[in-house]
Structure formats: structure tokens, C-alpha cells
Chains A and B, each alone.
Chain A
Amino acid sequence: MKAFTIHSGIVAPLDRANVDTDMIIPKQFLKSIKRTGFGKNLFDELRYLDEGQPDQDCSTRPLNKEFVLNQPRYAGASVLLARENFGCGSSREHAPWALDDYGFRAVLAPSFADIFFNNCFKNGLLPIVLAADDIDELFRAVESTPGYQLTVDLEKKVVRKPDGVELAFDVDQFRRHCLLNGLDEIGLSLQHAEAITSYEEKRKQQAPWLFV
């Protein structure tokens, strides 16, 4: 997995609550058997005016000029600013894959849906929960300042504003460790293979019907 230590980038504001994973990557793009290439279909139904198809050349499709990612001032954005309950709905890991493939490294929101939140960490994408007031203020700052950038420092667990003000955030210690070092969670769990085997032996005595 890609490591995440410190990242600075342009912030794109997505001003709507309950953005679901169908919205992040519509179902017709889930048919791929690969992990990459979803970026061009990120937010497909919001971003383009026509109905997207898998394996299509997106460069000639009609764009929804109103949509935030199509506005030139947010070109190259790598930090997504979002509202409550971001990533709700389907468990598709294609949602973080699409955000990552597009170039986002971090998502800032007042709250996230659980499954999406988990999936981000496994793909080097950092979801950050900030207080609703701070998010509100960031929306105002981003909208009034073209080229607004934030620095996300996972080592120090802070989001740094251009004026140097820092917003602290919480992150699970184990997940932080994995992200900072780009560690593969399966490899880490397999270090406990003996514990898994001894659990199985014990459980087999208690509930043999689970081991037929």
C-alpha cells in the first residue's frame, strides 16, 4: 500500500450531505475486475451530462460545467472537502479506488459512513473528521480563495491552513501506523497465525458444528 505522511494540495469543495457511494462511482463501473482506472468516472453522474458507459473515452463527453471538479480553479485538486455522512450506501471499495485514481489523497468531512471510512485506510486515502464549524469555515475559505490549499500532516495529526493555523484530528493508532509506513494489513495479521489456529482449536471444542 502507498504510504501517507504529509500532503499539500488544492482543496475541492463538494457542498452536499449524504454523498453515497453510488454517486462517487455509479454501478455500471463496478464491472471491472481491476483496481485502477476508475478516476475518469469519479462522480460520473454529477460530472458529465450524458450517461456513462464502462470503457468509454470520457474526453469527448459533455461536461456539467457547474460541477465543482469541472471548474478550472479546482483543477488538480487532491483534498476533498465534504459534508455529513460522506460515503454512505454500498460497500463498494471502488469508491476510494475512484477517489484515489482521480488524485485525491484526503477527504475532510464532519462525519463519514463506517464502511467507506474503513475502506479508505486500506487504499492510502486518508478520511479526516473535523468539527462541523471548522468544516463550515473551510467551505467559506475555499470558496473565497482561488487556489486554496491545505496541508495534511498525518505524522503530527493536523490539517494546516495557509495562515499556519492547525486543526488537530484523531486517527486510530494502528491505522496511522499502517498508513505512515504503507504496511499491508494481511501480512501484519498473518504474524498472528498461531493465535488464529489456537482460537480455531478452542472454538472447535465449544462449537463443533462450525467445523464440519
Chain B
Amino acid sequence: MAGKTLYDKLWDAHLVRQNDDGSALIYIDRHLLHEVTSPQAFEGLRIADRQPWRLANNLATPDHNVPTTVKERALGIEGIADPVSKTQVQTLDANCEEFGILEFKMGDERQGIVHVVGPEQGATLPGMTVVCGDSHTSTHGAFGALAHGIGTSEVEHVLATQCLVAKKMKSMLIRIDGTLSAGVTAKDLVLYVIGQIGTAGGTGYAVEFAGEAIRGLSMEGRMTICNMAIEAGARAGMVAVDETTINYVKGRPFAPTAEQWDAAVAEWRTLHSDADAEFDRVVVLNAADIEPQVTWGTSPEMVVDVNGKAPNPAQEQDGIKRMAIERALRYMGLEADQRIQDITLDRVFIGSCTNSRIEDLREAAAVVKGKKVAASLKQAMVVPGSGLVKAQAEAEGLDKIFVEAGLEWREPGCSMCLAMNADKLGAGEHCASTSNRNFEGRQGFGGRTHLVSPAMAAAAAIAGHFVDVREWMN
């Protein structure tokens, strides 16, 4: 019999009950909540007169709607200008108080983007099942956890039962052999993978990322990769546990201590696919082929090397794909065969659950240090992923580097990744963004998003257009 995959091990350890029809009841160790997808779930509990099954497994923080300027944030909830946004944040506070759920509220230094906060607190641990009403929950799989996004009905289900009704997914191994070249980051790697397998390439699969290139990444880099598994269609992405994982978790507030730490580490060391495990699909890519990536279109799979150009629809044989290319070029205001480096930018956004951790900010700061943002740019902003990331960055003097270069230094939140708060693109504006989705209107009505790594966004901010960041490195 073949050995087990990491996904098999995680699934088996959380199986409460197998139903006859192939579905199962799976136990959830960590449930993260934010203000957008939880209000209707709490309302459902109230209507049915149900209580949360196990309070300690839940952790909440507002992120999507919070403003990010220092001035607005100084006023707390009152600083949220949009009354509808304010209601949502107030509703989360009220629900957490009513049901007794731990929440890092606005004004708490631990508040931030839910997918930054969980790992930072050690609330995400190896071997856990982690869910949240947010598709980017796949982020937490970087810890050798089974983590994926759920809908609001499932948020209510997890609150009421601490379980999820699930069907086992197929398994896919994406192995990246070799090492990334200097200036090529985790973000470039995952954009390249999506370009190769497509935005639906991972649909129905739990994806394990492995290989030398993945082993060489920090936890921040691995989180970036797993974060965007969903952009390849895979609800869950994961990476096996190794010393990098264990060292990251050690000493975090929610991490086990003393004897429990030793017992936990012993179990965590088993969280890898067995050598003879079989996957339903295996994709092998070579890290040496990966260059800095830039998306040109309105889907993350519409991505090319920074030295490349937008496609020419005339060269596409498939009718539906040709239409999609034409539509994307029109929306993005690009010509067929236009060089990526000739795209003039209006704004630069460094942040989001994909790239707002300390390492991302260090990477961006190293590029802009001692330089100035291009005068042609309307705005360049850096939004740390949590209050603690912000404090750490300030302790390292990164905020000063950004501000001296002409970038705005903001308060933590989802910010311009999805324009649910005051940070938005104007119609027709091009933005170099370290976020995860370049869909039409995602960053603002008519806005044009180009997804890139923090280093590439930083270099674009200085140049006013895309440049190959490798040419700027010594």
C-alpha cells in the first residue's frame, strides 16, 4: 500500500465521522472570523437559538473595512467614514461580545489582516485544520495545516458544531526543483505556477508545494505561495513541516510551551508526505525558469515575465480564450504585443494578506532605500499586515526609509487589495500591486491591477513603470 500524503494525514487526524455518501464530518481546530462574512452567521445562530460549540477555537479581527490612514485610525471606529463599513465593524464587536469570542479590535496592536494575525500569534499551528470565511485562508497551509476558505453558511456551521461537512479533495503535488535566482521571490514563483496550470488548474485539489525551491523559502514566502493556491483554483495549499516551520512557531503567544511544546514538535515532525505517497496529479517545474512576473490582464493566469509583452489575440486559436484576451486587453487599456515595461503606472500598493509581512516590507524597503518615488505617480503606499508587523518595521526603521522615498506609511488592514475601505483605484488607473487578484473592478471601479512581488512593486514605484528589479541589485 502506498504511503500517505500530508493531506491524507491531516484529513485522517480530523475525521469525526465518515458518512456513507463519501462526505464526512471534519473537526476544525481554528476558526478565524472577520467582519464581512460573519454577521449573517451570527444572526443564524441567534435565530436558531444556538451557541458556539467551543469558544476557544475562535479568533476574530476586523480587517476588510478598516481605514488605514493614521488620522482616521486615531479616532477608532468613529474614524470609519462610510456608515455601512462602520456598521459591519460594530456588528463584529457586538457579536464577539455577545457570544464570548476573543477579538483583536481596532486599536489593539494585535489587530490586522486575519491571515497575518493567525500565524503571527501562533493561533495557526502545524497539524491544525484552519478555516475562515475568506478564500485566502489557504495561506495557513504553509504551516503543514489543512486550511481553506468557507462560505457564511459554513461559518455558522463551524460556530455551532466545530465541524465542517466536507468531501475529501484530490491531491496534487507541485514540486519546484532547483533554487530561485536572486531577485526572484515567492510571489514570482506562485504567479509563474498559476500561469502554468491556469486559474482552474487546481480546482478540486488540495495542493502540496514541495521541492528545493519551497524548502528554501522562509515562512513568509511559503505563506505567499499558499495564499495564492486559491488563485490556481485550489481551496487548500500546503507545505510540509520542517525546521523553518518549527522555529517560526516557537515562542508565539498561542504556541504550546514546556513539555507540551516537545510533544507537539514530535508530532509536527511527522507532517510531511511519505516518500512512497501517491498523488492524483504531479506538476514539476524548474525554479531556474522563473523570472520576475507581472500580470497584464484580468485574471491571475494572465501573467508574463517582466521582460515580456502582452499577448496578441490574433495568435490564439481557441475562440473563447481569444475573446477573453481581447476583453482583458480592452479593460486594461493595453495594445496587443505591448511591452510590460512600457506600462505607465498611476499607483503602487504594497500590502494585503499575500505580501504585508515583515519580510515583504524589508524586501521593498531594500529597493527604495535612498531613492525617490517617480513624480508621475499619484500615490505609492505601504500597508503593514498587522499592528505587530507595523511595530516591528518601525523598530527596524523601515517606515523612515519608505517615507523618505515618498511612500505613504499606513495602519494595518486589507486596504487597496479589495477597495472595501477608502483606499481605491480610480477608473482607468494602473496599479502595481502586491495583492492577489487582478479581476475587473477589484481594486476600484474601472481600476487596472498588475500583480507583482514587493520588490518589483517597489522598483516600479521609483521608476514610474515596470522594471526588472534584478537590474537594480548589486
Contact = CB atoms under 8 A, between A and B. Distances in A.
Interface of A: 16-18, 20, 22-23, 26-28, 30-35, 45, 51, 54-55, 83-85, 88-93, 96, 111, 113-115, 118-119, 122-123, 172-174, 184-187, 189-190, 192-193, 195-196, 199-200, 203, 206-212
B266 to A, nearest CB: 11
B437 A45 contact: no
Contacts of A51: 427, 445-446
16 contacts: A22-B441, A27-B442, A28-B420, A31-B65, A33-B43, A51-B445, A88-B233, A89-B437, A93-B151, A93-B152, A114-B203, A115-B151, A122-B151, A196-B25, A203-B13, A209-B260
A186 B48 contact: yes
Contacts, number: 191
Given A93-B151, A113-B200, A207 B127 contact: yes
B188 interface: no
Contact of B87 (A33, A96, A172, A210): A33
Contact of A186 (B151, B161, B167): B161
A174 B165 CA distance: 10
B235 A114 contact: yes
Given A17-B324, A199-B27, A192 B17 contact: yes
B233 A85 contact: yes
Contacts of A22: 437, 439-442
Nearest to A176: B21
B61 interface: no
Contacts of A192: 16-17, 25
Interface range on chain B (Cβ under 8 Å from partner): 35 or more
Given A196-B162, A206-B267, 19 more contacts: A18-B324, A23-B441, A26-B445, A28-B419, A28-B420, A32-B84, A35-B152, A84-B200, A89-B437, A91-B135, A91-B150, A185-B165, A187-B48, A192-B16, A195-B17, A196-B161, A199-B16, A203-B13, A209-B125
Nearest to B201: A85
Nearest to B160: A186
A125 B190 CA distance: 33
Contacts of B84: 31-32, 54-55
B263 interface: yes
A189 B163 contact: yes
Closest 3 CB pairs of A and B: A209-B256, A122-B153, A33-B39
Contact of B135 (A30, A85, A96, A115): A115
A189 B233 CA distance: 28
Contact of A172 (B21, B64, B260, B299): B21
A186 B25 contact: no
B120 interface: no
A208 B263 CA distance: 9
Contacts of A89: 135, 437, 439
A97 B104 CA distance: 29
Nearest to B22: A172
B153 A196 contact: no
B199 interface: yes
B165 A172 contact: no
A202 B441 CA distance: 48
B150 A208 contact: no
A114 to B, nearest CB: 5
Nearest to A122: B153
A199 B199 CA distance: 36
A123 B167 CA distance: 18
B418 interface: yes
Nearest to A35: B40
A179 to B, nearest CB: 13
